Structures are given as C-alpha cells and as structure tokens.
Amino acid sequence: MTRRPRAVAFDVMETMMRLEPLRARFEDAGLPGAAVDTWYARTLRDGTALTATGDFEPFRRVAEGALRAVAGPRADDAAVARVLDGLAGLPAHPDVEPALRRLAAADVPAVCLTNGAGATTMAFLDRAGLTDLVDRVISIEEVRRWKPSAAVYRHGAAVTGVPADRLALVAAHAWDCHGAARAGLVTGWVGRLEGRYGDVFAPPDVTGDDLVEVVDRLLALDGA
C-alpha cells in the first residue's frame, strides 16, 4: 500500500519553472518560438543517452549542444549564449508557491530534484521567493547521472534521510514519474503539461490538474 510521504521532491523544469519565456529569445536568435519544445526534448534525450552509456555532461553543456543542433547555422555563439542565459530569469508556475505552502503547513519537507544545475535552481527559488519553502536543491551534478536513472532518485532519498517508499517525486513528465516509481518512490503527476499520462509508463500514485491538487492527494494518503 502506498503511504503518505515524509518528504516531497519536485522536478524543476516545466514542473516548477516555466520555459515559455525562452520563446522570445529563440525568436531573437532567428528561430521559431516553437523550437523551444524540440530543443528541450533533445536536451533530455541527449542527457539520458549519456547516462545510458555511463557518461555524464552537465545540463548547460548538453543544452548548448542540443540548441546548436536545432538551430544549425542560423545561430552564432552570441545567439546561443543569449538563449541559454535566459534560463537564469525564468519564472515559477503560479501553483508552485501554494503547493509548497500546503506541505509546509503539514510539516512535510520539500526539496528540488533536478536535471538542471544546482546554482541555477537555487537562483530560481530565490528569484521566485520560494527559498524558505524548499529545504534543499538536489542536482544530478551530485551523482553524475541524468534522470530517470534510479541512482538520482535513490540519492534524493539518501539526502532527505527517508526511505525511498516515503519520498514522493512530483513531476509534469510521465517519464520522470516512471523512473521514480521504478526506484521505489511515491509518485505524483501534474497533468497541465502533457495532458495524458503515457500508457507505457508505470502509473503514478496520485495525479492532479495542478500542483496543489497533487500535493493534497499525497497528503491524503495513509500515513501509517
């Protein structure tokens, strides 16, 4: 039986952080705004491929390579840098703060578990006024593996000091929830990005249309 988590880990990019403002930077670089989705999907693919082969590169380096592949000769070094520098100014989704406050009120610690850089994530939390609501940022830089490697989720459990089956992973990506589930975590999927959970993945323990609904459902699980 799935039990109420003692701590909750949040994916960051697209789950907490909005990528839409990058579209303007893509357009400034002569790329269609819609290319943001292709770029980010390629970044995740390439990071995952490196992990599958036992290699590692940090987010910024993989993201740069993916952007150059998507942009081709249309983007010079300055344009690539301008697009990627936009990661430092991305805002939070409006449901992030109320979801974190629900957890704080229930005395359940929240952490970030991200494929992104730790420093970028901490700056995001500070900019969004969320620092006091998040206990720790856990980055793949610490284990040199990309999610959905089980090593990342198990490291998250070790860092938070709770058993894997009492740590929840909340994400807007079905593949992320699948990886967490296979590592033994409780999972919560927010449907505002993908709309439909992929049939090929292990089903999440709870779902919701926004992060508040997901958190409320996690907190409603049996705490025994």
Q: Are 221 and 5 in contact (CB under 8 A)?
A: yes
User: Is the pTM above the cut of 0.85?
Assistant: yes
**pLDDT single digits (tens) 169-202:** 999 999 999 999 999 999 999 999 999 999 999 9
Same-domain pairing of 84 and 193: no
Residue 1 belongs to a domain: no
Buried b (16+ CB within 10 A) or exposed e, 93-113: bebbbebbebbeeeebbbbbb
Domain range for residue 59? 22-89
Same-domain pairing of 85 and 95: no
Same-domain pairing of 126 and 201: yes
**pLDDT single digits (tens) 143-177:** 999 999 999 999 999 999 999 999 999 999 999 99
Residue 121 belongs to a domain: yes
Same-domain pairing of 112 and 98: yes
Same-domain pairing of 97 and 191: yes
